[in-house]
Chains A and B, each alone.
Chain A
């Protein structure tokens, strides 16, 4: 599961740095923005079959790779 999430994130962020430092703040580094989050949720739903609604998460819930992995795995 973790590997598949990393693949999705690598494609959206267009940078493999996300594999190296999983606690990096993705918004501060300019790797992710609100459009990227929307694409992430679509990919998670279509590729992993897990529905996460945009209004149930805050920016702070998805600002690092580790948080995103934990969120998706909790579903």
Chain B
């Protein structure tokens, strides 16, 4: 069964969200029901594939085990760099095996949602090291990973935020308001994905067949719009579904097409991913380089940080040339934006003026759309 992709899923969702709705209305605890319904939907999403079920269970047990073992070690050792590195590698290992075997055409290690679940697992390891997670139980960790609305493709939640919501007692009025917002998001998401994205896809597939530069440019815009409405639509549905369960899953998109520069774009596009990278890769890199004085000045540090950050993001999308190029491309754009904003007198003088902002917006949109064209693989 495809999550958010077929009628059967939505019918099941309608039936299985009803008990959650009643729990919310009568102000009962929701955690156990959320765990059960998640196990059911995760299994249904994997489908008639015993190997898929086995590797999925192994994955959740593995990451849950790491979270428990590391918390115990941390109580004895405290902030130990070597243990931390070992735990990061262990938590990352299933994703690496999955991606590498995938490149060679093996499918036995394809785990439902592993690309997204790895972010959650790594966040827990990193925050144990930071001393922010001290008493996370195995049920909390497994439940955090299994949470079905976001299991396949995010948005990527953070464990402390998620568990706060899960255990928060909502009054009837609070729950009803949340469920109302959830319904609105579910419906809007469905319109985005099944009406607008499907419409854009029609143009994408027609233009893909036409030779020449004109259709290629048309393809670029149609594909960019398709990508937005498809993924933003999915995200809205996943968030709406979470709201019904009393979980305020974070937003993933915030009007990306009104961004006036590339940095702003990454604050508005696939937000839960870019903010994860910002908090757990970019900033950590900046801190390490400040500590060890790797670079002469802050601008160089930022530029190298952006390049590393976005290249890793590209690789995460898939071990394919055009995904990696997409990452490098955005790394270069972010570095160039940083240099322009820090060094250009012209920018500093005119950045508050309307005409400058309009040009900046128009240029940003072309750069973003060209990035999507790279990402689509149609260019290469």
User: Could you list which residues of chain A lie within 8 angstroms of chain B, going by C-beta atoms?
Assistant: 34-36, 38-39, 41-43, 46, 51, 53-56
Contacts and interface: CB of A to CB of B under 8 A. Distances in A.
Interface string B153-188: 000001000000000000000000000000000000
Question: Interface extent on B, as a size class?
Answer: 10 to 19
10 contacts: A36-B298, A38-B286, A42-B287, A43-B290, A51-B131, A53-B130, A53-B132, A54-B283, A55-B132, A55-B158
A39 B132 contact: no
A34 B286 CA distance: 10
B301 interface: yes
Which of the listed residues B130, B278, B290, B298 has the most CB atoms from chain A within 10 Å of its own CB?
Answer: B290
A35 B132 CA distance: 22
Main secondary structure of the interface of B (DSSP, over half): helix
B290 A42 contact: yes
A54 B278 CA distance: 10
Which of the listed residues A36, A38, A41 has the most CB atoms from chain B within 10 Å of its own CB?
Answer: A38
Query: Which 5 pairs between the two chains have the least Cβ-Cβ distance?
Result: A53-B130, A38-B286, A39-B290, A42-B290, A38-B287
Contacts of A53: 127, 130-132
Interface in B275-316: 278-280, 283-284, 286-287, 290-291, 298, 301-302
Nearest to A53: B130
Interface in B236-284: 278-280, 283-284
B343 interface: no
A51 B279 contact: no
Given A39-B286, A55-B130, A46 B291 contact: yes
